[in-house]
Amino acid sequence: MDLQLANRVAVVTGGSKGIGLAIVRTLLEEGVRVVAASRKSSAELEALADDALTHVEADLMDPEAPARVMERAAEVYGGLDILVNNAGGPPPGVTLPRASFLDASDQEWRAVFEFNLFSAVRAIRAAIPLLRKRGGGTIINISSVNARQPSPLNVDYGAAKAGLNNLTKVLSSEFGPEGIRVNTISPGPVRTPWWTDDGGVVDIIASRTGTDRDDVIGALVPEMMKLTTGRVVEPTEIADMVALLASPRSANTTGAEFVIDSGLLKEL
């Protein structure tokens, strides 16, 4: 299927690893020119080096950073068609999952909201004028099933992502008549560095349960979370949905949430 994405311009936040890296790679394969924003690059991102890829070092918790990223896209590639707000998870100094709601301080709540919600708000604010100049475009917000599955283990993160879901609906309604589509993808557990890096979620669960880390990701997590498919999500599965939602073939899809969670959410 031709997704008709060739020569379009995208900004992907958190684009150096995990889901963001997979999104960057998939969009490049579809002929998109991509600006990947992250605090620092990675060997995997550098391996994709191409005239169609620009990396911008940016701490998206800096209120001025999102606007600088959008300006760079306009400067290098002449505009913007697609914004993927992917940056998220625990910001520096915050460790998730927690043991209880009581473990999160005011400072940690603020940091989690800055990274998971306010950075997206600022990126969207800076992107809309560029999308308007193109006569429309698409914004894709990467949320989480935690937005709809409350948990004391990630209470601040879930609250921030719930805000992002609400924001998607508001933006879709306000800017849809101008041709700007806004949708949400809500992943479940995904095989990303947040889970698999040393000291990540897998190690935290392994230390609490006395389980081997390979068994945690391969068996314990699917069992604990009652994953229907029996396995965690791969980053490319999120990236494929991003590409479809970014495509003109999804021209009448807006204000929607797409859950890719291995069947974790069972409720209507």
Residue 31, judged by CB atoms within 10 A of its CB (0-12, 13-18, 19+), counts as middle
Residue type at 121 in one-letter notation: V
Q: How far apart are CA 66 and CA 69, in angstroms?
A: 5
Backbone angles phi, psi at 183, to 5 degrees: -135, 165
- Cα 124–Cα 125–Cα 129 angle in degrees, nearest 5: 100
189, HSE (Cβ side, Cα atoms, 13 Å): 27
| Closest to 61 (Cα-Cα) out of 14, 118, 21 | 118
3-state helix, strand, coil in the chain (%, to 5): 50, 15, 35
Buried b or exposed e, range 233-257, using 16+ CB within 10 angstroms:
bebebbbebbbbbbbeebeeebeee
CB 87 within 8 A of CB 40: no
**Both structure tokens of 69:** 């990223």
Identify the DSSP state of 114.
Answer: I
Q: How far apart are CA 113 and CA 203, in angstroms?
A: 25
> Which are the catalytic amino acids?
157
